[in-house]
Amino acid sequence: MKFFLDTANIDEIREAAEYGLIDGVTTNPSLVSKEGRSFKEIITEIARIVDGPISAEVVSTDAAGMLAEAYDLAKIHENIVIKIPMIKEGMKALKQLTADGIHTNVTLVFSSNQALVAAKLGATYVSPFVGRFDDISQVGMELVADIAQIFSNYDFETQILVASCRNPLHIREAALLGAHVATMPYSVLEQLLKHPLTDIGLARFLKDWEKVTSAGKA
Ligand code: E4P
């Protein structure tokens, strides 16, 4: 299972990259807007740090505009993945990008039929947004389970990129369902490493070790 970091913040990406845990990065217009820097500059810098797929989202709502943005973004680095919203015009652009051999991530997926359409058009990734479903009292992971079943029924190569992950349970459930990728904020990545019993256990070992050193037996 691959871990992508869901951020446009360079400091977070640098820090996470040091652990060697980051297989890629996803960004979106909202994340980019928090950084107060040029989009292309951010994407270029991310590509220097992370050797893996970097999703950069188009903001046009017509296919021609999306394609113009996509070709421009794809020039930045070979790892750029064009993030396309799951709308009709987006699907027109997706078909063309697939024919051009440009990697794509269909975003804002909220139904298994949307995922099926994107897979039929050759999307590299589909991004079901689990957290936003949970926000409205619908179990987001059920969508991931459905998509996983459908993709395996037909041997689609499109990868399931579980997005809008808000907590470590989302990562656990995505892994249990065999999702190819989970994208998460830095805070969730950090939570994956933590357990209070690990901290308590380490504190006890270190305290006991003091007895060994003070007795000169180390
Ligand atoms: C995914 O690619 C999106 O950028 C992201 O996961 C959305 O997360 P949110 O619902 O927490 O904004």
Which of ligand 1's atoms lies nearest the C-alpha of 27?
Answer: 4
**Which residue from 129, 170, 171, 181 has its CB within 8 A of the most atoms of ligand 1, so it is best to mutate?**
129
**Spatial distance between the Cα atoms of 35 and 207, rounded to a whole number of angstroms:** 43
Burial class (CB within 10 angstroms; exposed 0-12, middle 13-18, buried 19+) of 75: exposed
pLDDT of residue 16: 94
* C-alpha to C-alpha distances, 18 to 170, 173, 202, nearest whole angstrom: 23, 26, 23
| 59-78 confidence digits (pLDDT tens) | 999 999 999 999 999 999 99
SS3 9: coil
What is the percent of the chain where pLDDT is above 70?
Answer: 100
pLDDT at 163 over 90: yes
Model confidence at 217, pLDDT cuts 50, 70, 90, reads confident
CB 165 within 8 A of CB 174: yes
Q: What is the mean pLDDT of residues 129-144?
A: 97
**Spatial distance between the Cα atoms of 6 and 112, rounded to a whole number of angstroms:** 22
Q: Which residues line ligand 1 (CB under 6 A)?
A: 6, 26, 28, 107, 127, 129, 131-132, 163-164, 183
Q: How far is the CA of 146 from the centre of ligand 1 (A)?
A: 20
pLDDT of residue 201: 98
pLDDT of residue 135: 96
Higher-confidence position of 215 and 45: 45
Model confidence at 218, pLDDT cuts 50, 70, 90, reads confident
Model confidence at 109, pLDDT cuts 50, 70, 90, reads very high
Give 75-115 as a DSSP string.
TT-TTEEEEEESSHHHHHHHHHHHHHT--EEEEEE-SHHHH
Active-site residue, 83 included: yes
DSSP label of 131: H
